[in-house]
Amino acid sequence: MFELSQDHEDFRRLVREFAEAEIAPHIADWDRKHYFPTELVPKMGELGLFGLVAPEEYGGAGLAEGAFTYQCLAIEELGRVDQSIGITLSAGVGLGINPILTYGSAEQKQQWLPDLVAGRALAGFGLTEPEAGSDAAATRTRARLDGDEWVINGAKAFITNSGTDITSVVTVTAKTGENVDGSPQLSAIMVPAGTPGFTVEPGYEKLGWHVSDTHGLSFDDCRVPAANLLGEQGSGFRQFLKTLDDGRIAISALAVGLAQACLEATTDYAGSRIAFGKPIGANQGVAFPLADLAVMVEASRLLTYKAAWLKDELTAGRRSVREVKQAAAICKVYSTEAAVTATRIATQVFGGNGFMEEFPVARFYRDAKILEIGEGTSEVQRMVIARGLGLPQA
């Protein structure tokens, strides 16, 4: 049976103290200004947050057991204070570092990982396109070999950590031919920041995640060395499916952090806000939704850390990919939908104050919705779960 060790709990406390000291005093101002705090990333690196799943040879922690669970704990605790900072870490590791760590050559790992693990740089992962999200087979970005270079043309959308001052590289998926059955052959290619023909579009005006860096990307005869292919040609589809499985658990941890923040803020408010001569928490109309919220937090956390434990067990060779895929989809769909509900409950309990930006629940409410969309929508998760049950597929 899985459980969090004392070392895990000590680490949780360490990250919580960091978040409350380094993020909480500034986040309202950063959110209002849509400011990405580049200066925070190296501090996260110094704490070791970008290196939890990386070997010591690249500056990582070299953890023998439970590395992914540590990663989820860090994401949850950052997300409890602010979702944008949580997703910066989640994407920085899951979408930036992990594909290079898992599929990169020795030369690619040595070139990129030390700075990424130390928090001196960030990396992005370009999968989604204006016309291709859940339907990744509809990818229109193309790459062709011209001598010893890949020539890339196309566009990507909604790419996290892709346009910061310290972004060093973005891995993009592109069509590089056709498979024998006529389906598109997708490959992953690393494009260094500043490469001619690689343009980072202006940042999006988003509903939430105002502190997160998110851009569209365009490629116009962008040339990179043939050696920048990540893994084997044609393996891009398999690579990003595995990347998304891990990312779904990480997003679930982010959702747990948000729901926990809602529970804490709303419980405190309900205990101190006086109406009709008594705290509003004395009314069942307030107390019962908070009880429901406590149940959702507990269930979300258990589902998430079971999935994280299974992922660590898979790494150790003791579980199957199928088990992790199913657990990832289950925790992702439940936890993210619970987080959206949690922000609605919190905003309602705060009443008019919940609609005011001076109270954090307003930011929580704005930040929540994307959790049901990113790393695979709730609808896609239900498809994965149904497939895992052995149901016939359309």
Residue 248 sits in the same domain as residue 380? yes
Q: Is 17 a catalytic residue?
A: no
Contacts of residue 100, Cβ cutoff 8 Å, sequence gap at least 6: 108, 109, 112, 113, 116, 123, 171, 190, 230
Shortest CA distance to 360 belongs to which of 30, 21, 81, 18? 81
Q: What is the pTM of this model?
A: 0.96
- CATH number of residue 169's parent domain: 2.40.110.10
Whether 1 is covered by a domain: the verdict is no
Whether 51 is covered by a domain: the verdict is yes
Instruction: Give 10-residue mean pLDDT values along the chain (394 residues).
Output: 84 98 98 98 98 97 92 98 98 97 97 98 96 83 97 98 98 94 92 98 98 98 98 91 90 98 98 96 98 98 97 95 96 98 98 97 98 96 96 82
Q: For position 241, what pLDDT does the model report? A: 83
Residue 365 sits in the same domain as residue 242? yes
- CATH number of residue 36's parent domain: 1.10.540.10
302's tokens? 């258990």
Whether 249 is covered by a domain: the verdict is yes
Asked which of 233, 257, 289 is the last residue of a domain, the reply is: 233
Contact 92, 75 (CB under 8 A): no
Catalytic residue among 76, 357, 375, 379: 375
Q: For position 2, what pLDDT does the model report? A: 61
For 203, phi then psi, to 5°, come to: -60, 150
What is the tally of structural domains in the chain? Answer: 3
Asked which of 198, 233, 268 is the last residue of a domain, the reply is: 233
Domain range for 79 is 6-122
Beta bridge partners of 269: none
Residue 43 sits in the same domain as residue 33? yes
Residue 101 sits in the same domain as residue 130? no
Residue 118 sits in the same domain as residue 128? no
